[in-house]
Structure 1
């Protein structure tokens, strides 16, 4: 029985399970689970109770194999109010992903936001039928998450609004953190809002940047996603992020577009 996307093996090493398998190759991971794994180690890096992460930028340096990976994190630039963290993910192929995060001192009650400018827009909730990602893979990332579309679908080209929640923890034996839930969901922006056909094109993201102005609450994360594509082969997917109480932030992905 699968216990999570990754099984911890000690010394920063994790064994990827079949739940991490992506849509482009039987032997490569979807970008969301390893991004969430990097978030996992970033949050555990020299934690400071009065600080929280506000931004994570992930660079995808190559395909992440469906195998054992090793992750590590360090404080790059300490500070009294703001500090920078860095995390790396390596496989037998070497460095395949890297993330930089900004961590901020929480200023509870010190910032008075005029009500007219407080973000409060919402999306319809996740009370609807679940959707399945169309794939020939029996097990993959699509089995590790639940998807509920408000508009659009995996096979309908164009913008989409979709709620997602984890069915399994990112790391077996742990409870997913809000950042882990957001990172694994945010990497779906290009998949749910693609304007190109899955059978004829690839639209692979080289990066993922997530900025949160509020920590999400609950299990569900919503993406209101749109893809911008150009004939030159460079695209952009951007998503407004929500929980059931309202907006929490935004995410972007730079896309490599090409015929299969």
Structure 2
């Protein structure tokens, strides 16, 4: 990996502080952060808080509460609802006010290997197709991501493989779940059915359900958007690693003509 999305800053007695790098910059506006790096950072804080608890994350829900600036932010995690079998943890990113919040349901782990099942067969990566023209020359976040669109033939929805190329914070070790969090917000771009030169379709949230934890560094999103008649849309996606199906993602979209 090369570089990072965030660097630690002096906390000055308050919540941990982080400086976002250029790799967090959004394709919609270079002065705001793409949704995936905040999700990855807040997921990291929740994973660190839950270490040793015997619980693992089954759902991550990112709510974008406002424009997330490419400027120093503070972030913290806490236990929202304690429990030995089911617990909720939350993490929040604050600039001048709260700009992003992740809530996570964590569930006690046990051995269910004998009854494990996947809804979909694994996806096999083929040769990469060209990146969509609207994203081909975008800098910032996409400078730190390997994006490999797949030939749509034979697929019911668009498919792309991703690999994050940067650490989440400094050179800290990055878990597979954090790496997935660093790309899953891209489902909105993968499943796009509107021309981004003519429309904004920004997501307000990203909700990920995981029936098993991901492995490795490469993840596929099979995504498709639906747009309603009143300026609201939804993108849904199936999420895969190289081993197979790991879960689903969904995003609410604000749709506006440029």
Task: State the TM-score, normalized to the length of structure 1.
Answer: 0.89
Q: Does 1:113 align with 2:115?
A: yes
User: Among residues 220, 238, 241, which one is paired with 1:240 in the alignment?
Assistant: 238
Are 1:20 and 1:33, in contact at CA under 8 Å, matched by a contact in 2? yes
* Cα deviation digits, residues 220-260 of structure 1 (max 9, x gap): 01100000112211000011000111100000000000011
Contact 1:159–1:227 (CA<8 Å) still a contact in 2? no
The separation in 2 between residues aligned to 1:159 and 1:233, in whole angstroms, is 22
Bigger shift: 161-170 or 2-11?
Answer: 2-11
Give secondary structure in 2 for the equivalent of 1:202: strand
Give the direction of change, closer, same or farther, for the CA distance of 1:138–1:64 in structure 2 (3 Å limit): same
* 2: CA distance, partners of 1:39 / 1:218: 17
Aligned pair in 2 of structure 1 residues 138, 259: CA closer, same or farther (>3 Å)?
Answer: closer
Relative to structure 2, which stretch is displaced further, 134-143 or 55-64? Answer: 134-143
Give the distance between the partners of 1:225 and 1:73, measured in 2 at CA. 30
* Count of matched residue positions in the alignment of Structure 1 and Structure 2: 249
The CA distance in 1 between the partners of 2:148 and 2:18, in whole Å, is 29
Following the alignment from structure 1 to structure 2, what is the Cα–Cα distance between the partners of residues 106 and 151?
A: 37
Alpha-carbon distance in structure 1 between the residues aligned to 2:169 and 2:142: 17
* 1:24 alignment counterpart: 28
Structure 2 portions without partners, runs of 5+: none
TM-score (normalised: structure 2) = 0.90
- 1:48 CA displacement: 2.4
Compared CA separation, residues 130 and 218, structure 1 to 2 (3 A)? farther
How far apart are residue 151 of structure 1 and its match? 3.1
CA distance in structure 1 between the aligned counterparts of 2:56 and 2:34, rounded to whole angstroms:
26
- Structure 1 spans left out of the alignment, 5+ residues: 153-157
Give distance in 2, aligned partners of 1:175 and 1:194: 32
**Residue aligning to 2:143:** 143
Shift of 1:139: 3.4
